[in-house]
């Protein structure tokens, strides 16, 4: 694989996908501190799963490319992309009340 680190458009798109990753994992609360803490908790809860899936995907890509290493910026892009999907799924679960315990009458 040829390196993609040098192109300016690739760097800009990398930062854009990083911001989208944070937006999809954003958890809003009543004040700023609570929102930051909830967002950090969300990212830390999903990060191990996202890292594991990214590791498997990168391993498959490297195997398919004949052992050629995937550049780090591409690995981070995959991490952010998988994290966006994880944040979306967990956000839907969270906002639809899936995380709220049922109260007995």
pLDDT along the chain (105 residues), means of 10: 64 92 91 93 93 96 92 93 94 79 65
Give the pLDDT confidence score for residue 4 in this predicted structure.
53
Give the pLDDT confidence score for residue 19 in this predicted structure.
95
Give the pLDDT confidence score for residue 67 in this predicted structure.
87
C-alpha separations of 77 from 29, 64, 82, 101 in Å: 28, 18, 9, 35
Q: Which two tokens stand for residue 59?
A: 């391993």
Give the pLDDT confidence score for residue 95 in this predicted structure.
81
Give the pLDDT confidence score for residue 6 in this predicted structure.
60
Give the pLDDT confidence score for residue 101 in this predicted structure.
66
């Amino acid at each position: 694989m040829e390196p993609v680190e040098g192109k300016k458009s690739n760097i800009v798109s990398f930062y854009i996908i990083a911001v989208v990753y944070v937006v999809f994992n954003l958890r809003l609360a009543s004040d700023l501190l609570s929102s930051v803490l909830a967002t950090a908790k969300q990212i830390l809860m999903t990060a191990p799963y996202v890292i594991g899936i990214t590791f498997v995907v990168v391993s498959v890509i490297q195997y398919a490319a004949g052992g050629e290493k995937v550049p780090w910026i591409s690995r981070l892009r995959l991490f952010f992309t998988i994290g966006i999907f994880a944040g979306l799924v967990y956000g839907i679960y969270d906002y639809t009340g899936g995380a709220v315990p049922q109260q007995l009458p």
